Amino acid sequence: MSVLHNRLSQDELMKMLTAEEELRMTISFYRYFFIENPVEFRDDLYKKLHALKVFGRIYVAHEGINAQVSFPESKANDFQQLIENTPGLEALRLNIAVQHEGAEKMRPAGGKSFWVLKIKVRDKIVADGIVDEEFDMGKKGSYVTAEKFNALSDDNNTIVVDMRNHYEYEVGRFENAIEIPSDTFRQQLPMAVDMLKDEKDKNIIMYCTGGIRCEKASAYMLHNGFKNVYHLEGGIINYATKVKEGGLLNKFHGKNFVFDDRLGERITDEIIATCHQCGFVADTHTNCANDGCHLLLIQCEKCAEIFNGCCSSDCKDIFALPHDKQKELRKGNEKDNMIFNKSRHRKIRL
């Protein structure tokens, strides 16, 4: 019988990944295209990726696919052939992580980008809250390359719009980019329309991490009457690669937040954020070590030592308790915070 899900425990999978000697490549990709039977597509893809020792997180829906994965470097050609031979994914752009496993080898155990393969069928590959049946992803904004982005963003008639969450914008962003200050992408879409309603004749460039959110956002803006809408091809990840390859001026400052165990990849040496606990210059994201919390926060090395990797004194005290006691305290309680907490108003309790 073919394997369609993981049969090993998380601890076993982590030990296997830690013991791996071969370097891994971390990549992301997406495509909006119609998938008639997402479950069948998912099952077939899982079997093929599992055979190549691919780890990662993939969402499949009628509207397309969204993936962030890693695989052994020796399997790179096999992986590329697999993608190329999958109907709907021909000539797909693969975004290679700016910092992949060569740098990650220096991180402690578990620091690699992924350690398990999960492919989930969803209603949409990006939760957008759009219910208008006339909305058409086929009518999207124009791609801009890194070179064209630089030129167009120099135009005073251009507005650069960041379509990511506040914790992503906080540690890295393009020059003069505006933030859409909402907690979720589904809230951002109508808010972006409202914020820019008097700028419908200007050039609007939208960007995100890998391109998937800003591509949908560009279509939504056109749907709402905007005329000159663009989105950055391949997002920040592809931009950073093309800037380096072409010797172009880099207009992105800081770190690019990524949704895997690395929690960020360095684009420039600039640190534009501060520690959420003491206010010192820092841009290292971490999750509170207390399993009943896991709040995402920026924490400097000093505060990490003071609070033992926790977000507050309360969580530090709980984290110091025996594991059985911690587990008992969590019984019947909902998690106070989520790993990727999106709220702009969440306060650190020191």
Higher pLDDT, 349 or 10: 10
User: What CATH number matches the domain at 10-121, 3.40.50.300, 3.90.190.20, 3.10.580.10, 3.30.70.100?
Assistant: 3.30.70.100
Write down the pLDDT at residue 307.
96
pTM: 0.80
Instruction: Please give the share of the chain, as a percent, with pLDDT higher than 70.
Output: 83
In the set 208, 288, 293, 315, the catalytic residue is 208
Nearest to 55 by CA among 104, 123, 127: 104
Phi and psi (nearest 5°) for 134? -85, -10
How high does pLDDT run on average in the chain? 86
Active site residue 300: no
> pLDDT category, 339, cuts 50, 70, 90?
very low
pLDDT of 99-125, one tens digit each? Answer: 543 444 323 233 356 778 999 999 999
**Residue ranges per structural domain of the chain:** 10-121, 142-240, 274-350
| C-beta separation of 124 from 220 below 8 A | no
Distance between CA atoms of residues 141 and 217, nearest Å: 9
**Which 3-state string (H, E, C) describes 156-218?**
CCEEEEECCCHHHHHHEEECCCEECCCCCHHHHHHHHHHHCCCCCCCEEEEECCCCHHHHHHH
Q: Which residues pair with 29 in a beta bridge?
A: 67
| C-beta separation of 300 from 275 below 8 A | yes
Distance between CA atoms of residues 295 and 171, nearest Å: 16
Fold adopted by 142-240: Oxidized Rhodanese; domain 1 (3.40.250)
